[in-house]
């Protein structure tokens, strides 16, 4: 059939959609501001130097090298017309298609907390993660040279948000400081390092079962992570954060795992938005009043089976992207589109070496400990694009597990590694 | 013994020196502006996305994690006092030792060619290589979107200098464009891509035998590389280069493989310098008039067996660094220092898939073709620090060889990937 589809965004949603359409010979234009696909679930491992950039990023052109009908264009989409099905890039180039799929992802939501956008490090892109890694290594270097900087927050890492990203990041930081510091740094007062996990809720991993929450909290505390639950963050400054109970934590590294919202492009699109600035989509992932427009992944409020909204997860993005493609094909063939049917594969969070929580399948079978860790590795490796990346990532993990080394501990983002030791 | 040594630079020379001193329990302070060691012989592979950063860079702290007597400090050395054996970092911190080893490496030598420093891409650091990769991918993207940009040099790569670096880079670019373009780019007029290798000498690989020179020239031309020999570069501008015969080449990507000189720090050190701004060292790698000071690797004019100066090679840097350490140990033990005895392992250059030239051992046994390619792989893998890196690099090469893929083709340096299409 002579269909053409424009897809905005090369994450799980956009790539999943393009794969299905390409399989049916539909002409696809896939737009992304980067020339690569990012594997977001493991960003915290890039941030803590457990894996390297090539394990997490893959060229979009490489993914679709054998798909003749997919055209990859690198450029930032600045405007969308959901009625005309046109999009425009920053350089003025325009694209249009019979259908338009918006898979533009999200951005950090700082909820208006003063100073957060300036001073906190988000963890949503590979660039974010490389900046966190450079900051961590820069701080360790600086305190090793001048140990009294520990009293100015040099070894204090504050993580805001105790969802899966925050918990995984806290666990990985604890492990990293424990593993890479001995031997590598001579003067570092490692016993003074603090990792503080802050959340306004009273529990970690709010979406998980009580048992998983308890297990995760115990493991984190056993790893030396300080839990500050039931308090929010009122302010982030250069040198400290202020909590909602009035207390202050002196720190030079604040990681923002406190939530996401749709990116600005979505807000400017004229599409109806709801919670988190995301587009409210119909059951079939289309948008009421805009025929031929589909929104998938983190850019959409995707309806779940019980009338609720599905969480912002890679598996939701991937499945919704593929589903939108199927509906585009159905409509073009004169058939009705179908409501999205999410196959819930469960939720997981890795806390550290040999420790993870997982609730698998629709029955929410709970596992934790080493088996959950193994499941976590397997599931994430299987999601990686390309055999080469799977092998490399598994080899990296296996090697790290055995050797406790961090061959990727490189501070290559000077804007983040050089610390301003003044206080606001 | 209660010796202390300050080493400036964490390349082959500095790391080789620190390894030997650490083995004898000498207190070493190793200073580098980066927190990582770079494997420079393969930078052109990073530039053409054949390998990734983690294959080429290794954390200095990781290398010396088990050496209690080696202290790694990240910081830029801004001043050296070779009489007092002190060095100062940009942040004002000072270090001193019983001996001082200068292993500060080199920087590109633009020989005063107008515009070269602004518009040409050197290839001496991993950052240089990542910028070249981003420029290449940015140019391919731009021409794919707007094919007429090919007439403004979008697909023309000019490489200045036909020594091993220039030859290897030209071969790798030819292979890259041949391998990654088909399928991945829809509108790219790949038949109009030009790779031009310029050298003021009449031959490529001037240091090699005539037979190797002929073989390399033939292979390059068979791969579509245009050789412009016997002409120099008079000017580099945004959009073109001017050659010494008055001709002009329209191009957006100029790679500078045209020579190196010692870095500025060496010139400011007060040490006696000669050719290339490098320090003229004695036979034992010490400096006349400055007892306890040694200069190794690319920062030195290292005397060879016939009174000539050894070339700027990784193996010369590594061996001279180790030798300087042995002399420091000897002098501390009241023994005389020994003149440097270079074990010439030969010279090699890889031209492309299945093609390399190598002159091995003191007998300069010549090999070329697939056997030289295999030798080249083996020798370079064996030089890599750490088993993990060797395995990873060999796996990467093997996989690429079989699949002709470039999973590391990421344009992550926007300053280089975004091209100014105006002409100067």
User: What is the reported pLDDT for A348?
Assistant: 79
A158/A121 Cα distance (integer angstroms): 10
Question: Cβ A405–B388 below 8 Å, yes or no?
Answer: yes
pLDDT digits 0-9 by tens, A40-51:
888 998 899 887
- In chain B, residues 121-150 whose CB comes closer than 8 Å to chain A: 126-127, 137, 141, 144-145
A181 and A79 in a common domain: no
Please choose, from the candidates B215, B216, B245, B223, the residue with its C-alpha nearest in 3D space to the C-alpha of residue B233: B245
A204 and A163 in a common domain: yes
A132 and A97 in a common domain: no
Query: Tokens representing B11?
Result: 């390349």
A276 and A312 in a common domain: yes
Q: Is B57 in the A-facing interface, judged by CB distances under 8 Å? A: yes
Range of the domain at B264: 4-33+75-108+260-332
| A2 vs B325, residue with greater confidence | B325
State the best of A407, A415, A416 to mutate against chain B, taking most chain B CBs within 10 Å: A407
| B419 vs A327, residue with greater confidence | A327
Residue A31 and residue A9 in contact, taking contact as beta carbons nearer than 8 Å: yes
**Residue that is last in its domain, among A316, A332, A348:** A332
Other CB atoms closer than 10 Å to residue A307's CB: what's the count?
Answer: 6
Residue A324 and residue A338 in contact, taking contact as beta carbons nearer than 8 Å: no
From the CA of A396, how many Å to the nearest CA of chain B? 9
From the CA of B350, how many Å to the nearest CA of chain A? 24
Mode of pairing for the β-strands spanning A300-301 and A279-280: parallel
Complex ipTM value:
0.71
> What SS3 string covers A204-215?
CCCCCCHHHHHH
Angular region, A417: left φ>0, alpha ψ -120 to 50, beta rest: alpha
B178 and B135 in a common domain: yes
A362/A346 Cα distance (integer angstroms): 7
State the best of A90, A410, A413, A421 to mutate against chain B, taking most chain B CBs within 10 Å: A410
A90 and A210 in a common domain: no
The closest CB to that of A62, out of B59, B391, B406, belongs to: B406
Q: Residue A123: which residues within 8 A CB-CB, separation 6 or more?
A: A43, A44, A47, A129, A132, A165, A169, A255, A256, A257
A168 is catalytic: yes
How many angstroms separate the Cα of A64 from the Cα of each of A30, B351, B418? 10, 29, 23
A139/B129 Cα distance (integer angstroms): 26
In a domain, A346, yes or no: no
A54/A42 Cα distance (integer angstroms): 12
Please choose, from the candidates A196, A182, A162, A135, the residue with its C-alpha nearest in 3D space to the C-alpha of residue A410: A135
| A337 vs A408, residue with greater confidence | A337
* Residue B163 exposure: Cα atoms within 13 Å on the Cβ side: 15
Backbone angles phi and psi of A46, in degrees to 5: -70, -40
Q: Residue B6: which residues within 8 A CB-CB, separation 6 or more?
A: B28, B29, B31, B85, B87, B95, B96, B97, B99, B100, B101
Q: What is the mean pLDDT of chain A?
A: 88
From the CA of A364, how many Å to the nearest CA of chain B? 36
B204/B273 Cα distance (integer angstroms): 29
Query: Tokens representing B306?
Result: 């016939």
In a domain, B163, yes or no: yes
Question: Cβ B65–A184 below 8 Å, yes or no?
Answer: yes
Nearest CA in chain B to A408: B54
Question: Cβ B409–A35 below 8 Å, yes or no?
Answer: yes
A210 and A167 in a common domain: yes
Angular region, B315: left φ>0, alpha ψ -120 to 50, beta rest: alpha
The catalytic residue among A27, A168, A260, A359 is: A168
The closest CB to that of B185, out of A61, A399, A412, belongs to: A61
B132/B173 Cα distance (integer angstroms): 11
User: What is the reported pLDDT for B307?
Assistant: 80
Q: Could you tell me the pLDDT band of residue A307, with boundaries at 50, 70 and 90?
A: confident
| B349 vs A129, residue with greater confidence | A129
B4/B23 Cα distance (integer angstroms): 13
* Residue B392 exposure: Cα atoms within 13 Å on the Cβ side: 31
CATH number for the domain harbouring residue B14 = 3.50.50.60
User: What is the reported pLDDT for B259?
Assistant: 87
The closest CB to that of A408, out of B54, B72, B183, belongs to: B54
Query: What is the interface size between A and B, counted as CB pairs within 8 Å?
Result: 134
Number of folded domains that form chain A = 2
In a domain, A342, yes or no: no
Q: Could you tell me which residues are beta bridge partners of residue B366?
A: B359
Q: Is A79 in the B-facing interface, judged by CB distances under 8 Å? A: no
B318 and B411 in a common domain: no
Q: What is the mean pLDDT of residues A255-273?
A: 93
User: What is the reported pLDDT for A17?
Assistant: 97
Q: Is A75 in the B-facing interface, judged by CB distances under 8 Å? A: yes
Residue B105 and residue B263 in contact, taking contact as beta carbons nearer than 8 Å: yes
B13/B323 Cα distance (integer angstroms): 10
A37/A383 Cα distance (integer angstroms): 13
User: What is the reported pLDDT for A300?
Assistant: 97
pLDDT digits 0-9 by tens, A355-396:
777 777 655 556 666 666 666 666 666 666 665 556 566 555
DSSP assignment of A277-330: G-EE--TTSEETTEEEEEE-GGGEE-B-TTSSB--S-HHHHHHHHHHHHHHHHH
Q: What is the maximum span of chain A, computed from C-alpha positions, in angstroms?
A: 71
**Residue that is last in its domain, among A296, A314, A332:** A332
B200/A296 Cα distance (integer angstroms): 57
B359 and B247 in a common domain: yes
B259/A110 Cα distance (integer angstroms): 49
Q: Residue A151: which residues within 8 A CB-CB, separation 6 or more?
A: A250
In a domain, B102, yes or no: yes
Query: Tokens representing A312?
Result: 């912002």
B301 and B159 in a common domain: no
B178 and B238 in a common domain: yes
**Residue that is last in its domain, among B285, B300, B332:** B332
Q: Residue B59: list chain A partners with CB under 8 A.
A: 184, 406-410
Query: Tokens representing A290?
Result: 């805009």
Give the lowest-confidence range in A18-22, A65-69, A376-380.
A376-380
Cα first-last separation, chain A: 61
Please choose, from the candidates A386, A391, A350, the residue with its C-alpha nearest in 3D space to the C-alpha of residue A61: A386
In a domain, B199, yes or no: yes
B197 and B95 in a common domain: no
A176/B418 Cα distance (integer angstroms): 36
Q: Residue A335: which residues within 8 A CB-CB, separation 6 or more?
A: none
- For the beta sheet containing B77-81, the strands, ordered from the edge strand earlier in sequence to the opposite edge, are B77-81, B86-89, B94-96
Burial class (CB in 10 A: 0-12, 13-18, 19+), B312: buried
Please choose, from the candidates B72, B80, B77, B104, the residue with its C-alpha nearest in 3D space to the C-alpha of residue B91: B77
| A380 vs A252, residue with greater confidence | A252
Q: Residue B402: which residues within 8 A CB-CB, separation 6 or more?
A: none
Other CB atoms closer than 10 Å to residue B379's CB: what's the count?
Answer: 16
| A122 vs B2, residue with greater confidence | A122
The string over B355-364, giving b where at least 16 C-beta atoms fall within 10 Å of a residue's C-beta and e elsewhere, is: bbbbbbeeee
Query: Tokens representing B162?
Result: 């036909």
Q: Could you tell me which residues are beta bridge partners of residue A8?
A: A31, A102
List, by residue number, the catalytic residues of B: 168
- For the beta sheet containing B253-256, the strands, ordered from the edge strand earlier in sequence to the opposite edge, are B121-122, B253-256, B156-160, B194-199, B225-229
B43/A61 Cα distance (integer angstroms): 23
In a domain, A77, yes or no: yes
Q: What is the mean pLDDT of residues A109-135?
A: 94
In a domain, B24, yes or no: yes
DSSP A335: P
Q: Residue B73: list chain A partners with CB under 8 A.
A: 141, 144-145
CATH number for the domain harbouring residue B125 = 3.50.50.100
DSSP assignment of A28-75: EEEEESSSEEE-GGGHHHHHTTSS-HHHHEEEHHHHTTT-TTEEEEE-
User: What is the reported pLDDT for A83?
Assistant: 96
User: What is the reported pLDDT for B394?
Assistant: 59
From the CA of B141, how many Å to the nearest CA of chain A? 7
DSSP B297: G
Q: Residue B334: which residues within 8 A CB-CB, separation 6 or more?
A: none
Q: Could you tell me the pLDDT band of residue A36, with boundaries at 50, 70 and 90?
A: very high
- In chain A, residues 289-348 whose CB comes closer than 8 Å to chain B: none
For every one of its 424 residues, what pLDDT tens digit does chain B have, with 9 covering 90 and above? 578 999 999 999 999 999 999 999 999 999 999 999 998 888 998 898 887 887 788 889 988 988 889 999 999 999 999 999 999 999 899 999 999 999 999 999 999 999 999 999 999 999 999 999 999 999 999 999 899 999 999 999 999 999 999 999 999 999 888 877 777 888 889 999 999 999 999 999 998 889 889 999 999 999 999 999 999 999 999 999 999 999 999 999 999 998 899 999 999 999 999 999 999 999 999 999 999 999 999 999 999 888 889 988 888 999 999 999 999 999 999 999 999 999 887 777 878 766 777 777 655 666 666 666 666 666 666 666 665 556 566 555 555 555 566 667 777 777 778 778 887 6
Q: What is the mean pLDDT of residues A64-80?
A: 92
Residue A240 and residue A250 in contact, taking contact as beta carbons nearer than 8 Å: yes
| SS3 assignment, position A332 | helix
Q: Is A90 in the B-facing interface, judged by CB distances under 8 Å? A: no
Q: Helices B314-332 and B12-23: crossing angle, nearest 10°?
A: 30
**Residue A11 reports pLDDT greater than 60:** yes
Q: Residue A72: list chain B partners with CB under 8 A.
A: 184
Q: Residue A403: list chain B partners with CB under 8 A.
A: 388
Q: What is the mean pLDDT of residues A409-420?
A: 77
In a domain, A118, yes or no: no
Q: Helices A12-23 and A314-332: crossing angle, nearest 10°?
A: 30
């Amino acid at each position: 059939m002579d269909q053409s589809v424009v897809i905005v965004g090369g994450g799980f949603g956009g790539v999943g959609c393009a794969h299905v359409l390409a399989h049916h010979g539909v002409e696809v234009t896939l737009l992304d501001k980067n020339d690569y696909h990012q594997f977001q679930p493991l960003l915290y491992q890039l941030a803590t130097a457990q894996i390297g950039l090539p394990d997490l990023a893959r060229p979009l052109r490489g993914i679709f090298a054998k798909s003749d009908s997919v055209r990859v264009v690198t450029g930032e989409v600045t405007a969308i017309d959901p009625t005309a099905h046109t999009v425009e890039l920053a350089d003025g180039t325009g694209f249009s298609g019979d259908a338009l799929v918006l898979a533009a992802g999200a951005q950090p939501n700082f909820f208006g907390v003063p100073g957060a956008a300036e001073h906190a490090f988000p963890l949503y892109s590979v660039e974010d993660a490389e900046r966190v890694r450079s900051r961590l290594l820069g701080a360790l270097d600086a305190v090793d040279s001048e140990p009294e900087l520990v009293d100015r927050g040099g070894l204090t890492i504050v993580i805001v948000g105790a969802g899966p990203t925050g918990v995984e990041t806290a666990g990985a930081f604890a492990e990293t400081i424990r593993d890479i510091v001995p031997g590598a740094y001579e003067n570092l007062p490692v016993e003074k390092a603090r990792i503080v996990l802050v959340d306004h809720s009273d529990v970690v991993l709010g979406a998980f079962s009580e048992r998983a929450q308890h297990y995760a909290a115990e493991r984190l505390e056993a790893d030396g992570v300080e839990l500050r639950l039931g308090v929010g963050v009122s302010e982030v400054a250069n040198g400290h954060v202020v909590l909602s109970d009035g207390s202050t934590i002196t720190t030079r590294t604040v990681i923002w795992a406190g939530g996401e919202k749709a990116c600005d492009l979505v807000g400017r699109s004229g599409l109806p938005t709801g919670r988190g600035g995301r587009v409210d989509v119909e059951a079939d992932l289309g948008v009421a009043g805009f025929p031929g427009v589909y929104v998938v992944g983190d850019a959409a409020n995707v309806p779940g089976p019980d009338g609720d909204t599905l969480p912002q997860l890679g598996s939701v993005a991937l499945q919704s992207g593929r589903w939108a493609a199927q509906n585009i094909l159905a409509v073009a063939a004169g058939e009705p589109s179908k409501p999205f049917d999410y196959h819930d594969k469960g939720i997981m969070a890795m806390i550290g070496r040999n420790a993870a929580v997982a609730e698998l399948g629709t029955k929410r079978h709970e596992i934790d400990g080493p088996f959950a860790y193994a499941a976590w590795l397997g599931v994430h490796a299987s999601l990686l694009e390309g055999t080469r990346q799977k092998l490399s990532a598994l080899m990296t993990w296996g090697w790290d597990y055995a050797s406790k080394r961090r061959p990727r501990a490189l501070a290559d983002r000077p804007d983040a590694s050089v610390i301003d030791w003044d206080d606001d």
